[in-house]
């Protein structure tokens, strides 16, 4: 009896893995649920809140084109051309320094 107890103590304890059940049968891992929209809804809809409580979904932003950006700012093509020239000048200057 003592020997049996000693042997049991010496043996490492069996640790159950997450994917196995008590009777040894393997358990299918839970399938990840698609959470497309916000608040766990599975329908695709635009995000509403971000920067809110930590549980809120992440904001998926849309991308504007250069045209949209300039239109929103009310910028004319002359301004864009002038800025492009400034960028070119500075680029040329940096090459000279290098």
Helix (H, G, I), strand (E, B) or coil at 45: coil
- The total of other beta-carbon atoms located within 10 Å of residue 59's CB is 13
Token pair listed for 49: 């809140």
Q: What is the DSSP-derived secondary structure letter of residue 13? A: P
Contact call for residue 60 and another protein (CB under 8 A): yes
Contact call for residue 52 and another protein (CB under 8 A): yes
Q: Of 4-12, 19-27, 50-58, which segment contacts another protein by CB under 8 A?
A: 50-58
Give residues in contact with another protein (CB under 8 A): 46-54, 58-70, 72-73, 75, 77, 79-84, 86-87, 89-90, 94
């Amino acid at each position: 009896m003592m020997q049996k107890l000693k042997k049991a103590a010496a043996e490492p304890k069996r640790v159950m893995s997450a994917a196995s059940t008590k009777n040894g049968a393997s358990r299918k891992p839970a399938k990840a649920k698609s959470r497309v929209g916000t608040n766990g809804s599975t329908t695709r809809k635009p995000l509403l809140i971000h920067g809110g409580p930590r549980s809120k979904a992440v904001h998926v932003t849309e991308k504007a084109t250069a045209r949209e950006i300039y239109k929103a700012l009310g910028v004319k093509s002359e301004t864009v051309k002038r800025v492009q020239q400034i960028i070119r000048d500075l680029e040329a200057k940096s090459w000279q320094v290098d």
